[in-house]
Amino acid sequence: MKEAKIITILRKVGAILTDDHFVYTSGNHGSVYINKDYLYPHTKETSEVGKMFAEKMKNKAIDVVAAPAVGGTILCTWTAYYLSKLKKKEILSVYAEKDKGSNAGASESNLVFKRGYDSFLKGKKVLILEDLTNTGISVKKTAEAVRKAGGKVVAVCVMVNRNPKNVNSRMMGAPFYELGVFPARFFSPEKCELCKNNIPVNTKIGHGKKYLEELKKQS
């Protein structure tokens, strides 16, 4: 099967890392990591990804593109730019942030639209973007925040879906799309095969350093 264009781009910029022991944002562990932060310094490729999103979504009625911060913000802006060109009208771009007022942990925090961005969503048709999905929680919370602000979620589209079995239209409650799929096994820390085989945790990429610090505190 021919590799999706987005995967080719990510390989080109060195964003796909394999054969290591990574800790993901969700807290799960795995041997494959897509480091979207390696994409964003390359403005030509990042712009191209935004154009790919726009082309895929051009037939949808869209007023605003929204995404969870941080990585989704960059793609959100480029996509709105190209959609504006394709539709010959201004498509706005806004992003949701973690609700720091919540007592929940970082991975459990709700997402909210601050800076007055919620006012741009009320009564509008909204496309939600995300860079990567492992559990899909961040993008789902973004959809919830859009609805809370009075916007209508017309579609959700992600750059790479790493968990196509569980992250889909049914989970999002809206039509779901991706530019590419790159499935990878992941484990909870308690059942991690990499940990059992004593493979060192990568502390430079992902959340490995924080994970080991927390583990040390518990011991």
- Smallest CA-to-CA distance from 29 within 40, 20, 38, 37 is with 20
Q: What is the pLDDT of residues 47-102, one digit of tens each?
A: 999 999 999 999 999 999 999 988 789 999 999 999 999 999 999 999 999 887 65
Domains of the chain: 5-209 (3.40.50.2020)
Give 3-state DSSP helix, strand, coil % of the chain, rounded to 5. 40, 20, 40
Question: How far is the CA of 179 from the CAs of 7, 39, 119, 120, 150, in angstroms?
Answer: 9, 15, 29, 26, 27
Q: CA 11 to CA 151: how far, in whole Å?
A: 36
Q: CA 206 to CA 202: how far, in whole Å?
A: 8
pTM score, whole prediction: 0.87
Q: CA 158 to CA 156: how far, in whole Å?
A: 7
Q: What is the pLDDT of residue 117?
A: 96
CB-CB contact of 184 with 25 (8 Å) = no
Give yes or no for residue 108 having a pLDDT over 80. no
Q: For 168-177, which contacts have Cβ atoms below 8 Å and span 24 or more sequence positions?
A: 171/136, 171/140, 172/136, 172/139, 172/140, 172/143, 173/143, 174/128, 174/143, 177/56, 177/57
Backbone angles phi, psi at 54, to 5 degrees: -60, -45
Question: How far is the CA of 197 from the CAs of 178, 194, 201, 208, in angstroms?
Answer: 33, 5, 11, 16
Strands 16-17 and 33-34: antiparallel
Q: What is the pLDDT of residues 122-147, one digit of tens each?
A: 999 999 999 998 888 989 999 999 99
When pLDDT is cut at 50, 70 and 90, the band that residue 121 belongs to is very high
